Chain A
Amino acid sequence: MIRRGPSGLVAVALMLAVTLGARPQGYLKLGYRVDGKNVAMKWGRLPVRYFITDRGVPGVTSNQLQTAVGRAFDTWHGVSTAEVSSSFVGFTLANPFEDDNMSVIGFRDRPELDRVLGATTFLVDSVTAEILEADIFFNSAFPWSVASGGETNRYDLESVALHEIGHLYGLGHSAIGETEVRPTGGRRVVASEAVMFPIAFLPGNIEGRTLKSDDTAGISDLYPTTTFTRRTGSISGRVTKNGKGVYGAHLVAMNPATGALVGGFSLSEDGTFVIGGLDPGPHVVRAEPLDDADIESFFQDAKKVDIDFKVTFFDRLSIVPRGGATSQVEVPVKPK
Chain B
Amino acid sequence: MTSRLTSHGSCRLGGAALTVVLAALPAAAQTREPRLQISIGGLWGGGSPFGSQAATETRNQVGGERYTLFQTETDVEAAGGLEARLTYWVTRAVGAEIGASWSTPRLVTRITADAEGAPDLTAPADVAQYVIDGAAVVRLQRLALARGRVVPFLTAGIGYLRQVYEDNALIETGTTYHAGGGALIWFQLVRRSWLKRVGARADARWSRQDGGIAFGEKGHRTFGAFGLGAVLQF
Contact = CB atoms under 8 A, between A and B. Distances in A.
Interface of A: 150, 176-178, 188-193, 201-202, 204-205, 207, 212, 252, 254, 256-259, 261, 280-282, 284, 286, 288, 310-317, 319-322, 324, 326-327
Contact of B55 (A204, A252, A312, A320): A252
A319 B170 contact: yes
Contacts of B50: 256-257
A205 B111 contact: no
A105 B98 CA distance: 67
Contact of A311 (B55, B67, B118, B170): B118
Contact of A282 (B67, B107, B117): B107
Contacts of B115: 178
B123 interface: yes
Nearest to B56: A259
Nearest to B68: A191
B30 interface: no
A190 B59 CA distance: 6
A312 B53 contact: no
Contact of B57 (A191, A205, A286, A320): A191
B121 interface: yes
Nearest to B167: A327
A190 B55 contact: no
Interface of B: 50, 53-62, 66-67, 69-70, 72, 74, 107-109, 111, 114-118, 121, 123-125, 165-167, 169-170, 213, 215-216
A320 to B, nearest CB: 7
B125 A282 contact: yes
Contacts, number: 119
A206 B62 CA distance: 8
20 contacts: A178-B115, A191-B60, A192-B57, A192-B58, A193-B56, A193-B57, A205-B61, A252-B55, A257-B216, A259-B55, A281-B170, A282-B165, A286-B114, A310-B118, A311-B114, A313-B111, A317-B109, A317-B123, A327-B167, A327-B169
A327 B109 CA distance: 19
A288 B123 CA distance: 17
B123 A176 contact: no
B18 to A, nearest CB: 34
A281 B215 contact: yes
